[in-house]
Structure 1
Amino acid sequence: MAKYVGLDWASTGWFGVVFDDDGGWDTGVYPSVWSAWKYHSDAARILIGIPIGLPADRKRACDVAARRKLGRRGSSVFYTPLRAAVYCQTLEKAKAVNEAGADFSIQNQAWSIVPRIREVDEFLDMFPSARDRLVETHPEVCFYALNGHTPLSEPKRTRAGVQRRIDLLADEDPDTRAVCADAIDRYTTPSYAPSVGGADDVVDAVAAAVTARRGPEEWSTLPETPPADDRGLPMRIVHPADTAQTRLTNLSSPE
């Protein structure tokens, strides 16, 4: 029985949502990507909301394309620092390295996720067998696609924004409404709950899991032909393709 995993960084750990072919689901918090892999190395696909594939001398084309598609929500996509900058120990050094090697600086918000970028990069270096199954996505790009290729007007951390994203997920799969409700209650409400940043982290992971379950035949990729980094990792962001168009294409394809 195949299973599909969505991972999103949530304050102090990776929040994960797991779907299987029988309609079952589960959730969990993992302190590292290694921990998530320990329990889900048998997954058919794992989609993660963190950059995979690090540039050497310029902005990644997938980041540029994602920001363009999201319009005013484009600020949720950070320009991924150069590989050399990701491995610096301080922001000051990283900015100097990045500015010397490319035509952009490192956003302060981007620096906050650099430890996670480095973690995933090191993981894929140690476990090359995971390269075909651990794939980068971006939750806001997924919601953009599920919203008819239109950026959402509601900010993700507001109550209205969370509800709008849950509604979009429920349009894709009605069961996701129960997944979101259970996980938000379990991981964000009690004072003793595992540290998940907020309800938006939950819906982001669900969006990744929903996209993972769709599979490559129902994905769109930014850019369409992604370049690889110096380790051979594709620099791409995948998101749900237009379902109606995908089904028309499949129906019209010769058997």
Structure 2
Amino acid sequence: MAADRPRSGLRRLPVLVVLLPAVAVVGVLSVTAWALSGGQESQEHVPAHVESPTGEVVRDGPAEPAPTSPPRTPRERDTRADGGEPRDGAADLVISVVGEVAEPGLVTVPAGSRVADAVEAAGGEDPGADLMEINLARPLTDGEQIYVGVPAPPGMGPEPSDPGGRTPGEESGPVHLNGASTAELETLPGVGEVTAGRIVEWRERHGEFTAVEQLREVQGIGESRLDSLRDKVTVE
């Protein structure tokens, strides 16, 4: 009987050898299944946000983009830096530009514009146009008319007054080209301080005028301006 006991024990060894790997495989599968189920559950229960010790809610996720300001309108962009009203709040000026410009007629310019702005709005002066009698820096007033390169009709346009109180068109008779002073020459339509000075300079250089047509030799006096002066000057 004693010899039989070892033999029965030896018979059980193959059975144990077969069962041990199977038990190990089942254990590995159980651990893997538990790990997978536990990981999903932890992900499903992760809070979207946590509360800080100060009571503020801190979101656990990508930061939301910062709010952007709406685009500024052209009126807002035109607001002055000093915080005043936009420039387009002021009324525009309607100016009549005639004479030697590319596009004579009415132009609209912003309030505060100057004569140069009106001339530019009319397409600019023609080549060779005389601008010496125009104050391009003068501020504009609504409704005025600017004469570019041509004399203004009597009583029209900003013309200098004579020191004696006369205005162009009110002189008692023709102005003598050989004896008139600069102030007297300035009473002629379309003749300002610069042109009057050139007439006197021409007279000093050539002696005297022998014909009214010689005014064409004075810089700044064109054919149209000469026509407006023929019956207002004399050399006799």
Q: TM-score, normalised by structure 2?
A: 0.22
Choose 1 or 2 for highest CA Rg. 2
Higher-helix-fraction structure: 1
Q: TM-score, normalised by structure 1?
A: 0.21
Q: Which structure ranks higher in relative contact order (CA pairs < 8 Å, sequence separation ≥ 6)?
A: 1
